[in-house]
């Protein structure tokens, strides 16, 4: 078989993502009896109680049946929660699937997407392995730069991806800034507002894409159940947009990709997750307060804004620090691959584990050459 | 191992890219085609603007290689000769199918069948080493063998050091290096750094500019508000997975540490979205290791035969989640110590070589770099004559005044561990581990 001829160049050049090894394997290789994952921004509290109950009571016989192909009941619950029509929602197997659907719906070869150079990497990846161009605007003061993004838009730009709050820097655009940007885009392309971490934002000036999309029909909002709702293992993300836009995206979307248990647990989380959100916010608030103080004492630069994570600049190689912390059972995310060399991103979790992390970090920095 | 010879990797943008300027000739391995092969090499060189001495080297080396192939291959075998123009050098690649042969003849020490009265020493493949700047023998993905020879363009105009002392700067912008800025940069480097602390090609501004133009060298310059170049960093691919950094340099070297740090970060940001898994650096004796780089080890060498340590540093670009490596019992202690020192999680699979089903003969590939008086050996096949082959290679290298003899062993390929006893027996010592530079990590041995 002549793979050289069969495979498009943009696939040949794409580097496949290497997924993390299972915890047991990592513990064996690094020789650590316990492993704390501070790398994926998972919710340490897990799912809301109502979703836990659904998971606990899931009838095994249902595994033999196909799920609702379009997540019917979950879309009804989301529509009720946000005051929209169910057809404005499209539920996918995690945000990665809805990112792919949007890109495929609007872009063909020769088109491009615009986003920041240092943000959630999947926007770039999907464009890259779909043969779609990427035009990147550098971050400004660690945040999305509206002027820079507008400067990248050309006649072939179909989508602008905004990550708000930004992963990994935690910066966010307040309501007014987002309005100004959308006005200047003026409907020339689809604007995707990825609000994966929006539920963590407690600031009064926070923007809310759910509200703005009535005024801007080119606005599409992404949300997820993987973060504050603690359902990352079930892989459920969704997008919301104006009916004609969502109708187009649905054409590029494969149905039946969200499993029955995930749909049911997500529905329970939407309907009964209010207290859980408050509890998670309280935990993150306390964790960030602890980290701010501890990192300041260590004298390392850090970014502690919105979201459930903190970015730290370290005076040694981030990949070396990763290996050393792994030996201590602490798994952080290196940022070299995000174009932030020698930064790490740490998920905010409970106090006990954060204390272990700070202690480990301090000792490693002390012994660093 | 760091190599200046990038067979199989297009340095312009990294792996997998089409090379746009190859021209090729397919002929049968018959002596009657020898003039055609030689004139192809010469004409290709002339068409690409190479001159006198370079053309002579191209023609003579093509003649020698083709004559060697004619002796080895049957008359009906095809040989493809490709000429690749990299502006600052021309590479001739001779591709052929050795399936009907004993692979042993691919050793650079092997002698082709000879006629009575011919000098045996002049019939080996090794004779070509004297004619060109670099030679490399490799196996291609399509099953063919490739013998590649490189002739460098001769540059006569040397970089003139710029006089005058630049002022320390507080602010700067970083911009990509181009043909013009690299020449100014070279002059600044020469003015502020001793020879040996910067790559030799910066001695020739035309060569540096051509390497940038060819895409084989990347770089970024720090430019002060006044427009003066106040620093810079260069880098290049050295394998499908590795980049070598050259620098950073500051003018004067006493510029604030933030300047070289910004240059290094610029390079790391560039590398972040490439297939590279790591960055290597070489530091001369006395030069401190770059910040953020792990010291891997060093090699000894030098034109006078005196030890001149060269340290190798490494910086991973990806999270290393661990892997298994194949290990000969005689190497276990070295590997455990180094992996522990580098905090690299590795499961050592100790494999005492069984010795069954092995080929009759050992085949080694040799990559020579005359400028550095260095040879890098790798195992293509392991046979019971491994120690004998190594000794024979060492003898020839000694005659050719190649003083730094290295052997790279891939820990990701189980049968390669069988070389360890022969290497130790012939005086090689393990110097360092290069993480992830082969199918697994590789160990670099040096002949002590």
What does the alpha-carbon distance between residue A107 and residue B281 come to, in Å, rounded to a whole number?
41
Q: Which residue of B has its CA nearest to A368?
A: B292
Which of A192-196, A229-233, B9-13, B102-106 is the least confident region? B9-13
pLDDT tens track for A71-116 = 999 999 999 999 999 999 999 999 999 999 999 999 999 999 999 9
Looking at the fold, whether A255 and A293 belong to one and the same domain comes out as no
- Could you tell me if A334 lies within 8 Å of chain B, comparing CB atoms? yes
Rounded to a whole number of angstroms, the distance from the CA of A32 to the nearest CA of chain B is 11
Looking at the fold, whether A152 and A126 belong to one and the same domain comes out as yes
Give B-chain residues touching A21 at CB under 8 angstroms: 321-322
What does the alpha-carbon distance between residue B204 and residue B160 come to, in Å, rounded to a whole number?
9
Interface test with B, best of A316, A319, A329, A345 (most B CBs within 10 A): A319
> Both tokens of residue A106?
């609007």
Looking at the fold, whether A324 and A221 belong to one and the same domain comes out as no
A272, A305, A329 — which closes off a domain? A272
Predicted confidence (pLDDT) at residue B252 exceeds the cutoff of 90:
no
Looking at the fold, whether A38 and A59 belong to one and the same domain comes out as no
pLDDT tens track for A330-363 = 999 999 988 999 999 999 999 999 999 999 999 9
For the residues A150-159, what does the mean pLDDT come to?
Answer: 97
User: Is A307 inside a domain boundary?
Assistant: yes
Q: What is the CA radius of gyration of chain A?
A: 21
Predicted confidence (pLDDT) at residue B177 exceeds the cutoff of 90:
yes
SS3 A185: helix
Q: Which residues share a beta bridge with B375? A: B368, B405
Q: Please name the residues in contact with B105: beta carbons below 8 A apart, sequence gap of 6 or more.
A: B72, B98, B112
For the residues B317-322, what does the mean pLDDT come to?
Answer: 91
What DSSP assignment string belongs to B231-286?
A: EEEEEEESSSSEEEEEEEEESSTTS-THHHHHHHHHHHHHHHTSS--EEEEEEETT
% chain A with pLDDT above 70 = 100
Q: Which residue of A has its CA nearest to B265?
A: A341
pLDDT category of residue A16 using cuts at 50, 70 and 90: confident
Q: Please name the residues in contact with B194: beta carbons below 8 A apart, sequence gap of 6 or more.
A: none
Rounded to a whole number of angstroms, the distance from the CA of A341 to the nearest CA of chain B is 6
Q: Which residue of A has its CA nearest to B344?
A: A323
- Could you tell me if A320 lies within 8 Å of chain B, comparing CB atoms? yes
Residues 313-372 of B with CB under 8 A from A: 315-322, 343-347
**pLDDT for res B77:** 85
Which of B289, B292, B319 is nearest residue A342 as measured by Cβ atoms?
Answer: B292
Q: Which residue of B has its CA nearest to A1?
A: B142
What does the alpha-carbon distance between residue B89 and residue B272 come to, in Å, rounded to a whole number?
29
**pLDDT for res B284:** 83
pLDDT tens track for B307-316 = 457 889 999 9
Predicted confidence (pLDDT) at residue A135 exceeds the cutoff of 90:
yes
A254, A272, A290 — which closes off a domain? A272
- Could you tell me if A10 lies within 8 Å of chain B, comparing CB atoms? no
Give A-chain residues touching B343 at CB under 8 angstroms: 320, 323-324, 327
pLDDT category of residue B70 using cuts at 50, 70 and 90: confident
**pLDDT for res B10:** 41
User: Would you tell me how many other CB atoms lie within 10 Å of the CB of residue A359?
Assistant: 13
Which of A222-231, A304-313, B85-94 is the least confident region? B85-94
From the list B124, B104, B103, B121, the residue with the least C-alpha distance to B112 is B124
Rounded to a whole number of angstroms, the distance from the CA of B280 to the nearest CA of chain A is 13
User: Would you tell me how many other CB atoms lie within 10 Å of the CB of residue B270?
Assistant: 17
pLDDT tens track for A295-337 = 999 999 999 999 999 999 999 999 999 999 999 999 999 999 8
Chain-centroid distance of CA B355 in Å reads 31
Looking at the fold, whether A187 and A209 belong to one and the same domain comes out as yes
User: Is A283 inside a domain boundary?
Assistant: yes
Rounded to a whole number of angstroms, the distance from the CA of A57 to the nearest CA of chain B is 36
For the residues A278-302, what does the mean pLDDT come to?
Answer: 97
Looking at the fold, whether A153 and A280 belong to one and the same domain comes out as no
Looking at the fold, whether A279 and A340 belong to one and the same domain comes out as yes
Of the segments A113-122, B120-129, B143-152, which one has the largest average pLDDT value?
A113-122
Give A-chain residues touching B175 at CB under 8 angstroms: none
Which of A294-308, B88-102, B340-354 is the least confident region? B88-102
Taking each continuous run of H as one helix and of E as one strand, the counts in chain B are 8, 19
CA dist list (Å): A51 to A46, A48, A271, A272, B359? 10, 5, 10, 8, 62
Domain count, chain A: 2
Which of A105-119, A154-168, B42-56, B129-143 is the least confident region? B129-143
Q: Which domains does chain B have, with CATH numbers?
A: 1-154 (3.30.565.10), 156-276 (3.40.630.30)
Give A-chain residues touching B275 at CB under 8 angstroms: 15
Q: Which residues share a beta bridge with A222? A: A194, A239
Predicted confidence (pLDDT) at residue B118 exceeds the cutoff of 70:
no
Predicted confidence (pLDDT) at residue A199 exceeds the cutoff of 90:
yes
What does the alpha-carbon distance between residue B229 and residue B108 come to, in Å, rounded to a whole number?
45
**pLDDT for res B6:** 40
Burial class (CB in 10 A: 0-12, 13-18, 19+), B387: middle
User: Is A4 inside a domain boundary?
Assistant: no
**pLDDT for res B3:** 53
- Could you tell me if A14 lies within 8 Å of chain B, comparing CB atoms? no
Which of A210-219, B109-118, B161-170 is the least confident region? B109-118
Looking at the fold, whether A184 and A120 belong to one and the same domain comes out as yes
Give A-chain residues touching B315 at CB under 8 angstroms: 317, 319-320
Which of A13, A326, A337 is nearest residue B318 as measured by Cβ atoms?
Answer: A337
Given an 8 Å threshold on Cβ–Cβ distance, is A319 in contact with B293?
no
Give B-chain residues touching A124 at CB under 8 angstroms: 273
> Both tokens of residue B23?
């021209």
Rounded to a whole number of angstroms, the distance from the CA of B295 to the nearest CA of chain A is 11
Rounded to a whole number of angstroms, the distance from the CA of A75 to the nearest CA of chain B is 37
- Torsion, Cα A157 A160 A161 A166, to 10 degrees, reads 130
Rounded to a whole number of angstroms, the distance from the CA of B19 to the nearest CA of chain A is 14
Predicted confidence (pLDDT) at residue B368 exceeds the cutoff of 90:
no
**pLDDT for res B249:** 93
For the residues B201-205, what does the mean pLDDT come to?
Answer: 88
CATH number for position A24: 3.90.1150.10
Which of A215-224, B86-95, B294-303, B380-389 is the least confident region? B294-303
Q: Which helix (H) or strand (E) holds A177?
A: helix A175-185
pLDDT category of residue A369 using cuts at 50, 70 and 90: low
User: Is A9 inside a domain boundary?
Assistant: no
Given an 8 Å threshold on Cβ–Cβ distance, is A29 in contact with B322?
yes
User: Is A1 inside a domain boundary?
Assistant: no
**pLDDT for res A231:** 97
Looking at the fold, whether A101 and A226 belong to one and the same domain comes out as yes
> Both tokens of residue B316?
């991973």
Predicted confidence (pLDDT) at residue B126 exceeds the cutoff of 70:
no
Q: Which domain holds residue A86?
A: 51-272
CA dist list (Å): A161 to A101, A193, B210? 13, 6, 39
What does the alpha-carbon distance between residue A92 and residue B6 come to, in Å, rounded to a whole number?
44
Q: Are B114 and B67 within 8 A, CB to CB?
A: no
What does the alpha-carbon distance between residue A330 and residue A142 come to, in Å, rounded to a whole number?
26
Given an 8 Å threshold on Cβ–Cβ distance, is A341 in contact with B265?
yes
Looking at the fold, whether A58 and A139 belong to one and the same domain comes out as yes
Greatest CA separation found in chain B? 73
Predicted confidence (pLDDT) at residue B227 exceeds the cutoff of 90:
no
pLDDT tens track for B278-294 = 999 988 877 888 888 99
Q: Which residue of A has its CA nearest to B272?
A: A337
Q: Are A74 and A91 within 8 A, CB to CB?
A: yes
- Could you tell me if B268 lies within 8 Å of chain A, comparing CB atoms? yes
pLDDT tens track for B370-420 = 777 888 898 888 888 899 989 988 888 887 778 889 999 999 988 899 999
Q: Which helix (H) or strand (E) holds B83?
A: strand B78-85
Is residue A256 left, alpha or beta, with left meaning phi > 0 and alpha meaning psi from -120 to 50? left
pLDDT category of residue B353 using cuts at 50, 70 and 90: low
CATH number for position A57: 3.40.640.10
Residues 88-127 of A with CB under 8 A from B: 124
Is residue A158 left, alpha or beta, with left meaning phi > 0 and alpha meaning psi from -120 to 50? alpha
Residues 25-84 of B with CB under 8 A from A: none
Rounded to a whole number of angstroms, the distance from the CA of B314 to the nearest CA of chain A is 10
Predicted confidence (pLDDT) at residue A225 exceeds the cutoff of 70:
yes
Question: pTM of the full predicted structure?
Answer: 0.87
Looking at the fold, whether A267 and A334 belong to one and the same domain comes out as no
Which of A13, A25, A341 is nearest residue B16 as measured by Cβ atoms?
Answer: A13
- Could you tell me if A327 lies within 8 Å of chain B, comparing CB atoms? yes
Looking at the fold, whether A185 and A288 belong to one and the same domain comes out as no
User: Is A112 inside a domain boundary?
Assistant: yes
User: Is A32 inside a domain boundary?
Assistant: yes
Q: Which helix (H) or strand (E) holds B18?
A: none
pLDDT category of residue B14 using cuts at 50, 70 and 90: very low
- Mean pLDDT of chain B, nearest integer: 83
Give B-chain residues touching A333 at CB under 8 angstroms: 319
A246, A272, A298 — which closes off a domain? A272
Predicted confidence (pLDDT) at residue B161 exceeds the cutoff of 80:
no
Q: Are B431 and B446 within 8 A, CB to CB?
A: yes
Given an 8 Å threshold on Cβ–Cβ distance, is B321 in contact with A342?
no
């Amino acid at each position: 078989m002549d793979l050289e001829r069969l495979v498009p160049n943009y696939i040949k050049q794409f580097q496949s993502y290497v997924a993390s090894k299972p915890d047991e394997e990592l513990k064996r290789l690094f020789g650590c009896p316990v492993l704390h994952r501070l790398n994926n921004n998972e919710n340490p509290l897990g799912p809301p109680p109502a979703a836990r109950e659904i998971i606990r009571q899931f009838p095994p016989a249902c595994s033999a049946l196909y799920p609702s192909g379009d997540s019917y009941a979950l879309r009804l619950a989301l529509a009720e929660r946000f005051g929209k029509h169910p057809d404005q929602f499209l539920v996918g197997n995690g945000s990665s699937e809805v990112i792919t659907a949007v890109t495929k719906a609007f872009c063909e070869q020769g088109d491009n997407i615009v986003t920041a150079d240092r943000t959630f990497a999947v926007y770039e990846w999907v464009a890259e392995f779909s043969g779609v161009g990427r035009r990147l605007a550098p971050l400004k003061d660690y945040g999305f730069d509206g002027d820079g993004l507008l400067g990248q838009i050309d006649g072939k730009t179909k989508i602008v991806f905004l990550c708000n709050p930004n992963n990994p820097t935690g910066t966010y655009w307040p309501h007014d800034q987002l309005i100004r940007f959308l006005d200047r885009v003026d409907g020339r392309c689809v604007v995707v507002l990825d609000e994966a971490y929006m539920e963590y934002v407690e600031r009064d000036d926070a923007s809310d894409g759910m509200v703005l999309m009535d005024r801007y029909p080119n606005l599409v909002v992404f949300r997820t159940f993987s973060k504050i709702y603690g359902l990352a293992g079930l892989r459920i993300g969704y997008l919301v947009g104006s009916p004609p836009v969502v109708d187009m995206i649905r054409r590029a979307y494969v149905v039946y990709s969200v499993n029955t248990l995930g749909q049911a647990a997500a529905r329970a989380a939407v309907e009964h997750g209010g207290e859980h959100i408050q509890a998670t916010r309280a935990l993150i608030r306390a964790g960030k307060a602890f980290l701010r103080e501890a990192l300041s004492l260590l004298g390392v630069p850090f970014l502690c804004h919105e979201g459930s994570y903190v970015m730290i600049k370290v005076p040694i190689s981030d990949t070396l620090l990763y290996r050393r912390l792994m030996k201590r059972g602490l798994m952080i995310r290196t940022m070299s691959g995000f174009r932030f060399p020698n930064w790490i991103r740490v998920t905010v979790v409970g106090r006990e584990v954060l204390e272990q992390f700070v202690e480990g970090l301090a000792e490693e920095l002390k012994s660093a050459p | 191992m760091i190599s200046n010879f990038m067979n199989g990797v297009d340095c312009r943008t990294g792996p997998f890219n089409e090379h746009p300027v190859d021209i090729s000739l397919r002929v049968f391995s018959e002596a009657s085609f020898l003039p055609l092969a030689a004139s192809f090499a010469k004409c290709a060189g002339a068409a690409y603007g190479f001159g006198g001495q370079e053309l002579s080297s191209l023609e003579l080396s093509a003649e020698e290689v083709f004559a060697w192939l004619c002796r080895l291959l049957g008359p009906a075998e095809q040989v493809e000769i490709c000429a690749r123009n990299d502006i600052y050098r021309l590479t001739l690649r001779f591709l052929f199918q050795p399936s009907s042969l004993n692979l042993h003849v691919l050793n650079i020490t092997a002698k082709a069948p000879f006629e009575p009265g011919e000098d045996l020493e002049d019939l080996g493949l090794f004779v070509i080493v004297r004619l060109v700047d670099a030679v490399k023998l490799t196996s291609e993905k399509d099953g063919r063998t490739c013998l590649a020879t490189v002739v460098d363009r001769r540059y006569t105009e040397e970089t003139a050091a710029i006089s005058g002392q630049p002022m320390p700067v507080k602010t700067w912008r970083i911009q990509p290096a181009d043909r013009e800025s690299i020449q100014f940069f070279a002059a600044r480097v020469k003015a502020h750094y001793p020879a040996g602390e910067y790559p030799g090609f910066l001695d020739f501004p035309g060569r540096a500019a051509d390497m940038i133009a060819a895409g084989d060298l990347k770089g970024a310059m720090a430019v002060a508000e006044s427009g003066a170049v106040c620093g810079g960093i260069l880098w290049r691919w050295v394998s499908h997975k590795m980049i070598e950094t050259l620098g950073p340099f500051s003018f004067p070297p006493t510029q604030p540490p933030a300047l070289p740090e910004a240059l290094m970060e610029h390079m790391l940001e560039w590398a972040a979205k490439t297939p590279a898994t790591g960055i290597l650096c070489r530091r001369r004796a006395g030069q401190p290791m770059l910040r953020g780089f792990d010291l891997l080890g060093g090699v000894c060498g030098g034109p006078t035969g005196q030890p001149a340590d060269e340290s190798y540093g490494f910086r991973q670009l990806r999270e290393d989640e661990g892997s298994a490596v194949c290990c000969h019992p005689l190497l276990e202690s070295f590997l455990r110590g180094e992996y522990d020192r580098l905090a690299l999680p590795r499961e050592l699979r100790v494999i005492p070589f069984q010795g069954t089903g092995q080929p009759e003969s050992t085949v080694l590939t040799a990559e020579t770099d005359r400028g550095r008086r260095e040879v890098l050996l790798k195992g293509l096949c392991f046979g019971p004559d491994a120690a004998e082959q190594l000794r024979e290679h060492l003898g020839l290298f000694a005659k050719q005044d190649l003083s730094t003899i290295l052997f790279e062993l891939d820990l990701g390929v189980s049968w390669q561990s069988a070389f360890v006893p022969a290497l130790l027996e012939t005086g090689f010592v393990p110097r360092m581990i290069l993480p992830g530079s082969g199918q697994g990590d590789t160990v670099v041995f040096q002949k002590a």
